[in-house]
Amino acid sequence: MSTFQRILYVEDEPDIQTVAKLALEMVGGFTVKICSTGEEALTETADFMPDLILLDVMMPGMDGPTTFNRLRKQPIIAEIPIVFMTAKIQPSEIAYYKSLGAVDVIAKPFDPMTLADQIRIIWEKREQNAPIQPV
């Protein structure tokens, strides 16, 4: 099972950025880069090369699903797993986000003390379901 360390978090609300960054770095031990807009994520992702992207759904300008689709069009980062974070968690909404190709959805508001564990569980489930790479 591969390990992961670097998380890019795309979120427009400064308070949520601060709480998530603290939770993921202090509690989870991750390295976190924050982007405040979808546009910023498009320019910063390739330089940072995260292992996982957390992507807010509702942002001004370019929303999460649009950002997701634009990230997927960049070959160097197209395979990075993306998890949506949103308050919109009706089953039909979650199904829509997953239909785009998201590996999972985390509900907002999130618990800062368990956010890192939630992400680790998502990563482990994804790794268990990943196709075996030929040697």
pLDDT at 121 over 60: yes
Q: How many domains does the chain have?
A: 1
Cα(55)–Cα(63) distance, integer angstroms: 9
Whether residue 21 lies inside any domain: the answer is yes
Identify the pLDDT of residue 131: 59
Report the DSSP beta bridge partners of residue 82.
53
Cα(49)–Cα(125) distance, integer angstroms: 21
Confidence of residue 132 (pLDDT cuts 50, 70, 90): low
Whether residue 114 lies inside any domain: the answer is yes
Please choose, from the candidates 118, 125, 130, the residue with its C-alpha nearest in 3D space to the C-alpha of residue 7: 118
Mean pLDDT for all residues in the chain: 92
Whether residue 1 lies inside any domain: the answer is no
Q: How confident is the model over 27-71, as pLDDT tens digits?
A: 999 999 999 999 999 999 999 999 999 999 999 999 999 999 999
Whether residue 66 lies inside any domain: the answer is yes
Residue 35 belongs to a domain with what CATH number?
3.40.50.2300
Q: pTM of whole model > 0.95?
A: no
Whether residue 38 lies inside any domain: the answer is yes
Identify the pLDDT of residue 1: 42
Identify the pLDDT of residue 9: 98
Whether residue 108 lies inside any domain: the answer is yes
Whether residue 130 lies inside any domain: the answer is no
Region 95-107: what's the mean pLDDT? 96
Whether residue 11 lies inside any domain: the answer is yes
- What range defines the domain where residue 82 resides? 6-125
